[in-house]
Structure 1
Amino acid sequence: MGKTRAENHVIITGSTGMVGEGVLIQCLNSPEIDSVLVINRKSCGYVHPKLKEIIHQNFFDFSPIENELSGYNACFFCLGITSVGASEATYFEMTYTLTMHVAEILSRLNNKMTFCYVSGSGTNVNGRLNWQKVKGKTENDLMKLPFEQVFNLRPGFIKPIKGQKFAHKFYKYVNWMFPVGRRFFPNGFCKMTELGDAMINTLSHNNERKVLEGRDIIELAGEPL
């Protein structure tokens, strides 16, 4: 008899944004994922036998929904804001404080959890720009939490899945550059399908804490460059 596959039950945040939606699509389509819980301020609009959705407004206080967050072995954290137009204080609160609040609760409730954090290409705690430092601090402090695994993923340009509802409109004007960018700068160009598959494939790894750059994401997804 073949080895029985362990069940995978995943929490996704940010599924009303482009990245979170793409990861959700890959999880719903993957035979490796048995159930998905999404937590949003408004409905993501998807209906699927695997999918459960919690509408929760205050992401700085998950205590009211704690009793619904146990029994999961993965969190794919895709929630975040752009630094463009945001004050340093707001960006820190929405990037570091919010992420750590959610992660600290999940690590307490699910000590066998794999936590995947969508960071960004160029993240560097010692970098020149504020967003680099904030994301770098977030990555470093996530690594210290008692999760079984932590993966910080640093995609650059992401090509959305055709038909995504929450893809930024400007992508349809710049997708033409993806093949050129992928050929000459593969570390900075990945597909949404690759990002989602890479996250799913982290679940077959064993007690790792890693930063995944663009090339690493593509490799973990099992796609050729």
Structure 2
Amino acid sequence: MNVIIFGATGMVGRGVLRECLVDERVSAVLTVGRAPAGITHAKLREIVHGDLLDLAPIEADLAGFDACFFCLGVSSAGMSEKDYRHVTYDYTMSVANTLARLNPGSTFVYVSGVGTDAHGRAMWARVKGETENALLALPFEAYMFRPGYIQPLHGVTSRTRLYRLAYMVTRHLYPVLRRLFPSAVTTTERIGQAMITVAERGAPERILGPAGINAL
């Protein structure tokens, strides 16, 4: 299959990209973002494009794909609801509407979060929930991934210094966390493999938490 990845320079996106490159089910990968991923591979092609609200200049490159793995996201910490919505909802829906038109019937996997709720009290949960609902209404196979704690593997790291330090501390505790809370933790490897599986044959549910991701 041929897949597009948005957000391939972030922790989750980089992990997903790694799994796509090593998985024989994936024939070609296109990444789209403000910066290149810094990886060279025979299956990989990159487009550097900074304005996700205007995809017209690259539309011709976005057609003919079987799946999109949308891993782009930001923390809501310190952001107003307007700014967070602009990045989380507006960017996502600009990409999704374009791909639904160019590749009807394809698969779109969106990285959301545990606690997402369009009617929730937390600002980020409402915005994420509204984004999920809008994606599920589009004419393609949309799946929402709501990972809990994510352990980065295979050299994948977070771009946020505080998170990198936290992962360094918890890295050796992950086997314990996995045994104690198997339905609450996952890894970048499992997320990537699960996305490929969903694109290949679907999943029993459209909204998947850590347990569903790990099962796939």
Q: Compute the TM-score of the two structures, normalised by the length of structure 1.
A: 0.90
Instruction: Check whether the contact 1:143–1:209 (CA below 8 A) recurs between aligned residues.
Output: no
Tell me how far apart the structure 2 counterparts of residues 166 and 44 of structure 1 sit (CA, whole Å): 13
The aligned runs of 1:38-117 (5 Å cut-off) are: 38-117=31-110
Instruction: Check whether the contact 2:157–2:164 (CA below 8 A) recurs between aligned residues.
Output: no
Instruction: Check whether the contact 1:150–1:208 (CA below 8 A) recurs between aligned residues.
Output: no
What is the SS of the residue equivalent to 1:186?
coil
Match of 2:214 among 188, 196, 218: 218
Work out the number of aligned pairs and report it: 212
Give 1:89 shift.
0.7
What is the SS of the residue equivalent to 1:43?
coil
Structure of higher RCO (CA pairs closer than 8 Å, 6+ residues apart): 2
Instruction: Check whether the contact 1:12–1:75 (CA below 8 A) recurs between aligned residues.
Output: yes
Give 1:55 shift.
0.4
Tell me the residue number matched to 1:160: 152
Give 1:162 shift.
2.8
Match of 1:10 among 3, 14, 29: 3
Q: Describe the superposition over 1:136-165 as per-residue Cα deviations: whole angstroms up to 9, x where unpaired.
A: 111111000011x11100001111113125
Give 1:173 shift.
1.8
Instruction: Check whether the contact 1:21–1:166 (CA below 8 A) recurs between aligned residues.
Output: no
Match of 1:192 among 167, 188, 191: 188
Say which is worse superposed, 154-163 or 23-32, in terms of deviation. Answer: 154-163
- Aligned AA (1:177): L
Tell me how far apart the structure 1 counterparts of residues 126 and 114 of structure 2 sit (CA, whole Å): 12
What is the SS of the residue equivalent to 2:60?
helix
- Aligned AA (2:143): F
Instruction: Check whether the contact 1:155–1:190 (CA below 8 A) recurs between aligned residues.
Output: yes
What is the SS of the residue equivalent to 2:133?
helix
> What's the Cα RMSD here?
1.5
What is the SS of the residue equivalent to 1:39?
strand
Tell me the residue number matched to 1:3: none
Tell me how far apart the structure 1 counterparts of residues 198 and 164 of structure 2 sit (CA, whole Å): 30
Say which is worse superposed, 193-202 or 155-164, in terms of deviation. Answer: 155-164
Establish whether residue 19 from structure 1 lines up as the match of residue 12 from structure 2: yes
Instruction: Check whether the contact 1:40–1:56 (CA below 8 A) recurs between aligned residues.
Output: yes
Tell me how far apart the structure 1 counterparts of residues 104 and 91 of structure 2 sit (CA, whole Å): 20
Establish whether residue 137 from structure 1 lines up as the match of residue 133 from structure 2: no
Instruction: Check whether the contact 1:121–1:188 (CA below 8 A) recurs between aligned residues.
Output: no
Unpaired segments ≥5 residues, structure 2 = none
Unpaired segments ≥5 residues, structure 1 = 1-7, 221-225
What is the SS of the residue equivalent to 1:24?
helix
Structure 1 residues 184 and 204, CA, compared in 2 at 3 Å: closer, same or farther? same
Establish whether residue 37 from structure 1 lines up as the match of residue 33 from structure 2: no
Tell me how far apart the structure 2 counterparts of residues 166 and 47 of structure 1 sit (CA, whole Å): 20
Match of 1:182 among 171, 178, 183: 178
- Aligned AA (1:180): V
